[in-house]
């Protein structure tokens, strides 16, 4: 039996199609539908997060260094330490809006480069990453100026990052 709508397509072609050919087309269309459905679900991330949340904010949450290491020590710093760095960062941005603008510009440049067609070259990625690293150094320096205790937190992040590096 042909799927609904396929008969109309066949009739609209003004050709006589054998039953075998129509069955083949139906099977092919069904396979394409299954492939499309699989493609939509194949990239769905499977989460198996079994961590528990505690009220103790003196220890790092997340169980150590992980993929999102660029987020001011997520997993390395305690919630209190991360909140302190976030507050310091916001203070620096309030005092120097140019830094905030630069950060937003880098975010947009990375987004643009990631979606560019043709794909970016390795040299383009490296150039943008080097510029971003220089910006992060400048931002860290500005944070340490307003909160000298932040230097110890950055050292803690850098030590964990060095251990993570292959």
pTM across the whole model:
0.54
Note down the domain range covering 133: 79-164
- Measuring CA to CA, which residue among 87, 88, 86, 80 is closest to residue 54? 80
Give whichever of 11-20, 23-32, 67-76, 98-107 has the largest mean pLDDT. 98-107
- For residue 15, whether the previous peptide bond is cis, meaning omega lies within 30 degrees of 0, is no
* Residue 73 in domain: no
Ramachandran region, residue 25 (left: φ > 0; alpha: ψ -120 to 50; beta: rest)? alpha
User: Do 87 and 33 sit in the same domain of this protein?
Assistant: no
Q: Report the pLDDT value the prediction gives residue 17, as an integer from 0 to 100.
A: 56
User: Do 85 and 151 sit in the same domain of this protein?
Assistant: yes
* Residue 13 in domain: yes
- 81 or 163: which leads in pLDDT: 81
Cα gap 144→151, rounded to integer Å: 6
* Residue 64 in domain: no
* Residue 35 in domain: yes
């Amino acid at each position: 039996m042909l799927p609904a709508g396929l008969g109309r397509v066949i009739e609209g072609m003004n050709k006589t199609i054998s039953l075998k050919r129509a069955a083949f087309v139906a099977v092919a269309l069904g396979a394409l539908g299954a492939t499309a459905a699989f493609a939509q679900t194949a990239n769905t991330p499977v989460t198996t997060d079994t961590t528990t949340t505690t009220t103790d904010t003196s220890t790092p949450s997340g169980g150590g260094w992980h993929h999102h290491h660029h987020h001011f020590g997520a997993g390395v710093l305690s919630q209190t330490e991360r909140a302190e760095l976030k507050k310091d960062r916001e203070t620096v941005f309030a005092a120097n809006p140019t830094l905030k603008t630069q950060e937003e510009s880098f975010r947009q440049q990375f987004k643009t480069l990631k979606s560019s067609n043709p794909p970016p070259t390795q040299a383009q990625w490296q150039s943008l990453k080097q510029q971003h690293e220089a910006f992060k150094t400048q931002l860290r320096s500005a944070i340490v100026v307003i909160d000298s205790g932040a230097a110890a937190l950055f050292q803690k992040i850098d030590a964990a990052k060095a251990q993570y590096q292959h």
